[in-house]
Amino acid sequence: MRLTDSLDYNKSISQCNLLTVLMTNRFFLIVCAFLSCQTQPPFQYSGPKFKGVNLVAPPRQPDSLALAPVRAIGGDWVAIVPYGFCKKGDPHFFFSENRKEQSKWQWWGETTAGVTGTVQMAKRQGLKTMLKPHVWMQGGSHLDLEFTTESDWQSFEHDYAQYILHFAKLADSLQVDLYCITTELDRFAIARPAFWQSLIGQVRQIYKGPLTYAANWDRYEKIPFWKQLDYVGVDAYFPIADEREPTVAELARGWKKPMKALQQLSSQVEKPILFTEFGYRSCDHAAQRPWESETDCIPNATVQANAYAALLETVWPQSWFAGGFLWKWFIDADPRHRDRDQFSPQGKAAEIVLTKNWN
């Protein structure tokens, strides 16, 4: 072998060794990064847990003691829910302040006057308040709100910003404790992040308290602006059991996968998770598709009670979890309304479960 051949051979060996070292180091770094992501410590929420209820807006002004039962179950927060309205495909949005005639037929609790009265009543009862605007869409689902042209998007955004900023001003003037900037407009939020980032900035200029957004359970991980808010709000209708009447243990096992994803997002954005809605109907298979409200079902109060117990025992103690607001609670004096879609725990076994856990 010639000397030059020997040198070339040794050079090739050295290059191979160097490449092997580099590839090994690269693999090591990738593994470390992966393990780091997997073992990211949970976010530590240090505040008191929210023990709240979403109020069903009453058609007329209720009795001054209508919120006393919330305190009796150990609740300390109420979510007050005004409504605005739109039609599928129509780039206009209406609420009681930009269409005055609407307030003539809208329920008292959904209007500015009703929101004001309910906040004041809650404060007199020693309850904290979250203001949580909702959208009612005729002919479609608000979850899938979208438009096909830029001009339609801008028209709708103009009207919708008026709605949110109006209630931001009201929330600030009434010293509301938490403002939820919108509920379940996830497709809108994902498609138009610049609008939402701008809107959050405008709200911050008006309302000086903490902010959240109520994302649906199946899209909350895709919301692009969590870091601009104070809480990751989730409407927590996760399917956790297929059985007709699952036990508390079976329901608790169903929470393992959702809890892992919730904890990871909380760590990633460094915000606590707040269940802006959670709840189950008092009927068979209630934990299979908890978001359903319009299908007929066979009454079963045990399923609802077990589902509440599993959530309170499994999710509630987590360090990243800030608590939540059950869906839903009636303050109308007529008890017939409470069984309208079976979600209310009032007068059922689930109310006993709540009272034991929250007091």
Q: Does the residue 24 lie in any domain?
A: no
Query: What CATH number did the domain enclosing 91 receive?
Result: 3.20.20.80
Mean pLDDT of the chain: 90
Burial annotation 215-253 (CB, 10 A radius, 16+ → b, else e): bbbebbeebebbebbbbbbbbbbbebbeeeebebebbbe
> Residue 295: which pLDDT band, with cuts at 50, 70 and 90?
confident
According to DSSP, residue 137 is labeled E
Alpha carbon distance 274, 316 (integer Å) = 10
Q: Does the residue 17 lie in any domain?
A: no
Q: Residue 62: which H helix or E strand, with range?
A: none
Q: Does the residue 240 lie in any domain?
A: yes
How far from chain centre, in Å, is Cα 2?
A: 75
Alpha carbon distance 278, 179 (integer Å) = 18
Which pTM value belongs to this model? Answer: 0.88
Q: Does the residue 29 lie in any domain?
A: no
Q: Give the pLDDT score at 332.
A: 82
What is the domain count for the chain? 1
Q: Give the pLDDT score at 98.
A: 66
Q: Does the residue 3 lie in any domain?
A: no
Which structural domain, as residue segments, surrounds residue 351?
50-358
Q: Does the residue 76 lie in any domain?
A: yes
How far from chain centre, in Å, is Cα 112?
A: 23
Cβ neighbours of 274 (radius 10 Å): 27
Q: Does the residue 333 lie in any domain?
A: yes
Q: Residues of the chain with pLDDT > 90: what percent?
A: 79
Who's near 233: CB < 8 A, 6+ residues apart? Answer: 180, 212, 213, 214, 215, 274, 275, 276
Which backbone phi and psi does 113 adopt, to 5 degrees? -65, -40
Q: Can you name the residues that pair with 232 across neighbouring β-strands? A: 273
According to DSSP, residue 227 is labeled G
Q: Give the pLDDT score at 25.
A: 52
Q: Does the residue 12 lie in any domain?
A: no
